[in-house]
Structure 1
Amino acid sequence: MSPALSAFWQEYRENWIAVVALAVVAIIVAAALFAPWIAPQDPYDLANLELANARRPPGFVGSDGYVHWLGTDAQGRDLFSAILYGLRISLQMGIAAGAVALTIGTLLGVLAAHAGGKVEAGIMRLVDLQLSFPAILLALVLVAVLGQGRVPLIIALVTAQYAYFARTAYGAATAERQKDYVEAARATPLPGRRVVFRHILPNCLPPLIVVGTVQVANAIALEATLSFLGLGLPPTEPSLGMLIANGFQYMMSGRTWISVYPGIALIVLIVAINVVGDQLRDQFNPRLRR
């Protein structure tokens, strides 16, 4: 481990809540990655679902011979298995959308700061216009137009989020552009793209990492919201939002576990990621430390 990374970790672990949150995120990611080997049932395989096992309470021993520790949903899916696969989908959508939005937003923000003039005005007015719309409204419209599926959903999430990265990158790049080392680099016969990618962009990464962490959590929450409304992934790929929606109609009949357990998993994941992002923000910006 490099000295800088070691010092960063030493400071990070001073906040035990952030350490617990990081451990929770690591456990959830590991559980999602190894879901096919951990889950007792494949919730995507509709041929193996038994309607006789539907809406059974936690601890029920199904006709398949194993214990449904968290119960089953209305289709007879083992909830523990469905939650593991749902976490997998949520992380895939959140990380993919966050990575694409980070790339697009960063390039636009740095380009606006470096080019200036009409290019800067055009890009930033577009970003400001997009930020004036609620993310959920924009995502709803795009998903309704593009249809269901992973690619349309990622497009909707990226469109709803790239402006946050663009605004952050623009602010950081504008501050870096005024510094002496950038002026010195511009005074040499270096191409503009090298000044941007070798000098300005690396110093813009710390705030972008913090925003990226928060936006991954926001993308997961937004995907769950769209799936809950029936506009996310198809029913054959049950995400956490869809699992919550499937059990919503049974809440008043006492079968609360169908919605409660996926909801708890979603809340734990989002809160843990946000706590990690909050700690990263404090470390990358010493002025925000308590």
Structure 2
Amino acid sequence: MPNDTFLYRFWSDFSRNHTAVIAAIIVLVIVLVALCAPLITPQNPYDLSHLVLRDARRPPGYVGTGGYVHWLGTDAQGRDLFSAIAYGLRISLQMGVIATGTALAIGAIAGCSAAYIGGRFETSVMRIVDLQLSFPAMLLAFVIAAVLGQGKYQLILALIFAQYAYFARTAHGAAAAERQKDYVEAALSIPLSSWRVVSRHILPNAFPPIIVVATVQVASAISLEATLSFLGVGLPTTEPSLGMLIANGFQYLLSGRYWISIYPGIALIIFIVSLNLVGDQVRDQLNPRFQR
């Protein structure tokens, strides 16, 4: 196998940053824990038949009625906290990936189409994008989630709307640079349809900076979801989410039952920081301007 392939060079450069490698391992472990939650957790924390109220708010290491040890303790409903965190990571990761992937698709198509068509269409699209980017993403997501109400799909829509503008701005900048190159002019002179030129020539070459933004926005979406759920406008209390777990335990924090809120918060911080470290390294490698 030749040693000059893109994947080989990418991994060779990535492996030189030991912090990014450790962060990638942590992300992989967390993803595996989330995906395998039904297999590795002692109980389904959101199955009411598995819950015993007399086991509620027990400290870490408590042996519950079911005979297994609650290594991280239990919450106010008697749920095993490790099980709740594993299931919470699962739903948070799911929502972050779905929201970011959909926002990426919408933003990439909008940005590349605006750069290709130009004129008033480009001006109108980018003015809308610039107007949205002038507001904090948290504020937009909070307003939309409050209007749509609590629910998984409502929150995903709010996250998509809060994120797509970042991808549209990035895609527009990259596509506008590609639009002026000779190979695009040659494709237009054949002639090829506008859709083929955008989908097969402009978009693939504008994709690296979009991927860089996506690695950061996944962590941002998970953080937004947790914040909105904590504020009471995200997921309902019946949905397993790290933000909801933190909110449920916050009222017991000052009474000494710190584990109900602290442990989900630690899991959320470790996950987001690790994702950001991996995203920063990917950005450094795919964008020459950031290479050290």
- Interval of TM-score (by shorter of Structure 1 and Structure 2): over 0.9
Aligned-pair CA distance for 1:287: 2.3
Aligned residue identity for 1:233: L
Residues 61-111 of structure 1: per-residue CA shift (max 9 Å, x gap): 011110000000111110000000000011000000000000000000001
Q: How does 1:135-146 map to 2 (within 5 A)?
A: 135-146=137-148
Q: How many Å separate the matches in 1 of 2:138 and 2:82?
A: 28
Aligned-pair CA distance for 1:268: 0.7
Q: How many Å separate the matches in 2 of 1:11 and 1:219?
A: 27
Aligned residue identity for 1:12: F
Corresponding residue of 1:196: 198
Aligned-pair CA distance for 1:35: 0.3
Corresponding residue of 1:120: 122
Corresponding residue of 1:68: 70
Which of 127, 132, 135 is 1:133 aligned to?
135
Higher deviation after alignment, 17-26 or 95-104: 17-26
Corresponding residue of 2:173: 171
TM-score normalised over the length of structure 1? 0.98
Q: How many Å separate the matches in 1 of 2:185 and 2:206?
A: 16
Corresponding residue of 1:147: 149
Which of 95, 98, 101 is 1:96 aligned to?
98
1:210 lines up with 2:184 in the alignment: no
Give ranges in structure 2 of 5+ residues lacking alignment: none
Q: How many Å separate the matches in 2 of 1:187 and 1:244?
A: 58
**SS across alignment from 1:255:** coil
Aligned residue identity for 2:173: G
Q: How many Å separate the matches in 2 of 1:96 and 1:175?
A: 29
Q: How many Å separate the matches in 1 of 2:26 and 2:221?
A: 18
Q: How does 1:44-83 map to 2 (within 5 A)?
A: 44-83=46-85
Corresponding residue of 1:246: 248
1:234 lines up with 2:236 in the alignment: yes
Corresponding residue of 1:17: 19
Q: Which runs of 4+ in 1 moved over 3 A?
A: none
Q: How many Å separate the matches in 2 of 1:246 and 1:194?
A: 51
Q: How many Å separate the matches in 2 of 1:49 and 1:227?
A: 23
Aligned residue identity for 1:189: P
Aligned-pair CA distance for 1:187: 2.0
Aligned residue identity for 1:34: C
Residues 139-162 of structure 1: per-residue CA shift (max 9 Å, x gap): 111111111111101000000000
Q: How many Å separate the matches in 2 of 1:164 and 1:188?
A: 33
Once superposed, what is the RMSD of the aligned Cα atoms?
1.1
Aligned-pair CA distance for 1:166: 0.2
Paired-residue identity, %: 68
Corresponding residue of 2:288: 286
Q: How many Å separate the matches in 2 of 1:148 and 1:225?
A: 13
Q: How many Å separate the matches in 2 of 1:184 and 1:12?
A: 36
Q: How many Å separate the matches in 2 of 1:217 and 1:4?
A: 25
Residues 161-203 of structure 1: per-residue CA shift (max 9 Å, x gap): 0000000000000111111211222222111111111111001
**SS across alignment from 2:191:** coil
Aligned-pair CA distance for 1:255: 0.9
TM-score normalised over the length of structure 2? 0.97
Aligned-pair CA distance for 1:7: 1.4
Q: How many Å separate the matches in 2 of 1:239 and 1:43?
A: 12
Q: How many Å separate the matches in 1 of 2:146 and 2:45?
A: 26
Q: How does 1:22-41 map to 2 (within 5 A)?
A: 22-41=24-43
Give ranges in structure 1 of 5+ residues lacking alignment: none
Q: How many Å separate the matches in 2 of 1:123 and 1:222?
A: 25
Aligned residue identity for 2:265: G
Aligned residue identity for 1:15: N
